[in-house]
Structure 1
Amino acid sequence: MRYTAPLLIGLLYVTLMSLLPEPHRRRVNAIMVAGAGAAYLSGGGLGGWEFAFTAVATWVAYKGLDSWTFIGVGWLLHTAWDVVHHLKGHPIVPFAHDSSFGCALCDPVIAVWCLAGGRRPWERRRGTDEFPGAGRSPLRTAGTTVKE
């Protein structure tokens, strides 16, 4: 259960967040990663480094307002911070000794989803409008035909 529960919590997070429509889903996730970045601030046991990490996480979360990639990076940064706290600092939940370890397992699940674009897992992947010309032959342009 030590390993399974955090992974299931990550999957539950992805499922619940997927219920939100875009662009709200991305913005809420940016706020969540900002909050995660400040989770250890009041007692993580690493002194001034807690403030430095919170500043970096806040900047990454701000960039995440417009980018799923930055949100994913923010979750990966928080994963690393969880590992540091598990090994050297205080746990994220003071009365649960392995809570930082569990968070370090949960966060990469969320990060992978975010780095994949934060799409709803149950929807088929559609073409993206990021590259509107993708998939078209360079020989076929609007209004012209190719003679063979």
Structure 2
Amino acid sequence: MQVMTYVAPILIGVLYALVMSLIREPDRRRRFNAIMVAGAGAAYLSGGGFGGWEFLFAAAVTYCAYRGLESWTFIGIAWLLHTGWDLLHHYKGNPIIPFAHDSSLGCAICDPVIALWCLRGGPSLISLVRRRTARAQ
């Protein structure tokens, strides 16, 4: 496997958190992310390889996303659930993007990066960088 198979998904997760940092808080960023993870939870429905289990998984993530409207923790949990589902799909050979063999693996690497950001409360990475830059000067 190439290094970029592992590095690119991490960078995508960081980029996701950075772009989401442009959405102002309070509430808007969290609620938008709850909607995003709900969509991710349904990503395998059209071609998933686990039959009816795909619906059960989508329901579990939807529940977490609903709770995530008021809690960053539930959004983080939903991304971690998606990570596990990505791994199952990768090992089964049924990737999220049918023509991209390692797409579920990439998603399984990216999702925990997003989950960690969510479990930290979805802080603005832009503000964090600005504060550190100001302290360094």
* TM-score of the two chains, using structure 1 as the length reference: 0.82
The separation in 1 between residues aligned to 2:44 and 2:93, in whole angstroms, is 9
- Per the alignment, residue 86 of structure 2 pairs with 82
- Per the alignment, residue 128 of structure 1 pairs with none
1:6 aligns with 2:2: no
1:116-135 paired onto structure 2 within 5 Å:
116-124=120-128
> Which of 31, 37, 46 is the equivalent residue of 2:50?
46
| More helix per residue | 2
1:1-148 paired onto structure 2 within 5 Å:
1-22=4-25, 23-124=27-128
- Write out the 4+ residue segments of structure 1 that deviate beyond 3 Å after TM superposition: none
User: Partner amino acid for 1:17?
Assistant: M
- 2:17 touches 2:114 (CA, 8 Å); kept in 1? yes
The separation in 2 between residues aligned to 1:78 and 1:25, in whole angstroms, is 20
* TM-score of the two chains, using structure 2 as the length reference: 0.88
Number of residue pairs matched by the alignment? 124
Change over 3 Å in CA distance of 1:31–1:61 after alignment to 2: same
The separation in 2 between residues aligned to 1:72 and 1:89, in whole angstroms, is 26
Unaligned runs of 5+ in 1: 125-148
The separation in 1 between residues aligned to 2:66 and 2:8, in whole angstroms, is 30
Identity of aligned residues (%): 69
The separation in 2 between residues aligned to 1:99 and 1:71, in whole angstroms, is 22
RMSD across aligned positions (CA): 0.9
- 2:21 touches 2:126 (CA, 8 Å); kept in 1? no
Larger radius of gyration: 1
Cα deviation for residue 89 of structure 1 reads 4.9
SS in structure 1 at match of 2:125: coil
CA offsets per residue over residues 85-136 of structure 1, 9 Å max, x none?
A: 0012510011100000000000000000000000112335xxxxxxxxxxxx
